[in-house]
Structure 1
Amino acid sequence: MTFDISIWIICGAVLLLAGFVKGVIGLGLPTISVGLLGLIMTPLQAAALLVIPNLVTNIWQLAIGEPVMALVRRLWPTLAGIVLGTLFGALALPAGTSRWAVIALGIILAVYALIGLSAVHLQVSPVAERWAGPLVGVLTGLVTVGTGVFVVPAVPYLQALGLSRAMLVQALGLSFLTSTIALAPAIAATGDMSPEIAGASLIALAPALGGMFLGQALRNKIGPAVFRRAFFGGLLLLGCYLATKPLL
């Protein structure tokens, strides 16, 4: 596709918004961006445009906070499952995004957010974590290939581990970074990562980082209770958006 001035303005505004949401709650960049940019380009082109912003913003999200190796040691079975599930899905699942898969994903995300906003707290015990981690990883990889969204079931699982606010944001960044790296070869295989898209992806990094910087500044000023409401409220909005977008 050709990037004229109007396309650049739209892409910049979308990535600024998506980066801001990611900065506040730790997720939302690919979900919001692919959904909105899908109005002016194909989902695969939008995913290709987001490769560099996704990589850099997730590395940034992962680097801010405590040393990450403790999280890697704890979450490596989940991360390995994400890679395996993504690669298997890229080979086995039909090309393109099923609108019913996206609707189901949105409904699941919205229900989980409503549970999180209520008094119910999901928890994963250390014993269950041994088998649940790899399973969640594989399922997340399959959902990523089918929908282009990294959040389910990885986000509910990570939130149920009882991590602190800072560690949860880092864990989300680690999970999303793994999904981005695993998905990149599948995008390249489709031919959508053209030199023009690759160059545009590098330029798109600027508004994404700007929005994320603003979002993180806001997150650092709010308390744990407000962050929890913002986190699950953001998930609820994302879920409702995904569930209704294919029907519009």
Structure 2
Amino acid sequence: MMDTISFALMLFGIFLLAGMVKGLLGLGLPTVAMGLLGLAMPPVQAAALLLAPSLVTNVWQLLAGPRFTALVRRLWPMMLAIVIGTLAGSGIIAGTVASAATMGLGIALFLYGLIGLLKPQPRLPPTIESWAGPLVGAVTGLVAGATGVFVIPAVPYLGSLGLGRDDLVQALGLSFTVSTLALAAGLALHGALPLDASGTSLLAVLPALAGMWFGGWLRLRVRPEIFRGGFFIGLLVLGGELIWRGLA
């Protein structure tokens, strides 16, 4: 076990880096944090530490956009399905078989990295949104409940709806906020959200916000595309490492 100072420094560094990625690319804080924390602790503990910084940064992203009410009206079936799926899947990450959750986390990160590198750009017709949204939401919720990662398949799906840049960023903020709250409820439902983890999670908000500020500053001075490929390659490596750990 690492001592308190080493643990605090590790958390500070991880959330500073994860916040910087989000500030630079507009996404990635929960994904980076879950992946790196998953190397040092069980996914259920990592998910508990992730909740506060994820919620604060995603609410910030959600409220910064121009069309909150319109997006809620359009996407509420998907959001409801995310909640139901997350609650249904949260028993996996909170269960006793840590290797299964670790492997699931690795697979989710690997798939997200692969999708990011391949850059599929499908455009879904509006006629299928009524059933595709809830289906994608349910799958996203199940993955989030099982692994603590709530980007697959929500991010590719929202990117296929033809939303404008600002609307897409706000829609992602909505999806991530709902997923974070649902994951917190799922962990609490299974008794996997201890008070000490909640307090530590609150402390992680500060480095996450500092990282977001720095990433935003950096985005004005460099091209984010330079880092995007490295980010997704890093997710592939991180996912592969976690899959290996889950198999061991």
With the shorter chain as reference, the TM-score category is 0.7 to 0.9
Compared CA separation, residues 90 and 39, structure 1 to 2 (3 A): closer
**Residue 219 of structure 1, CA deviation:** 3.7
| Counterpart residue number, 1:204 | 204
**SS of aligned partner of 1:50:** helix
Amino acid at match of 2:82: I
Aligned mates of 1:7, 1:150 — CA distance in 2: 25
Greater shift, 164-173 or 32-41, is seen at: 32-41
Counterpart in the other structure of 2:37: 37
Counterparts of 1:133 and 1:47, CA distance in 2: 25
2:105 alignment counterpart: 102
Q: CA deviation at 1:210?
A: 0.8
For normalisation by structure 1, the TM-score amounts to 0.86
User: In structure 2, what is the Cα distance between the partners aligned to 1:121 and 1:229?
Assistant: 20
Moved runs in structure 1, 4+ residues, more than 6 A? none
Give the AA of the match of 1:167.
D
The answer as to whether partners of 2:112 and 2:232 remain within 8 angstroms in 1 is yes
Normalised to the residue count of structure 2, the TM-score between the two structures is 0.86
Distance 2:93 2:231 in 1: 29
Q: 1:170 to 1:40 in 2, by over 3 A?
A: same
Tell me the residue number matched to 2:215: 215
Counterpart Cα distance in 1 of 2:70 and 2:226: 27
Given residue 207 of structure 2, which amino acid in structure 1 is its aligned partner? P
Contact 2:91 / 2:145 at 8 angstroms: preserved in 1?
Answer: no
- How far the C-alpha of 1:47 sits from its partner, in A, is 1.1
For structure 2, the residue ranges without an aligned partner over 5 or more in a row are: none
Greater shift in the superposed pair: 56-65 or 104-113: 104-113
Deviation at 1:94, TM superposition (A): 8.0
RMSD across aligned positions (CA): 2.6
Q: Is the 8 A contact 2:114 2:232 kept in 1?
A: no
Range that drifts further, 9-18 or 184-193: 184-193
After superposing the two structures, state which structure 1 stretch, 127-136 or 31-40, moved more.
Answer: 31-40
Q: How does 1:116-127 map to 2 (within 5 A)?
A: 116=119, 121-127=121-127
Equivalent AA in structure 2 for residue 108 of structure 1: L
Q: Identity of paired residues, percent?
A: 46
**Equivalence for 2:239:** 242
The answer to whether 1:184 aligns with 2:187 is: no
Shift of 1:202: 1.2
Alignment of 1:83-232 (within 5 A): 83-90=83-90, 95=95, 96=98, 97-116=100-119, 121-219=121-219
**CA 1:93–1:57: 2 relative to 1, 3 Å:** closer
Q: Would you say how many aligned residue pairs link Structure 1 and Structure 2?
A: 242
Give unpaired runs (5+ residues) of structure 1.
Answer: none
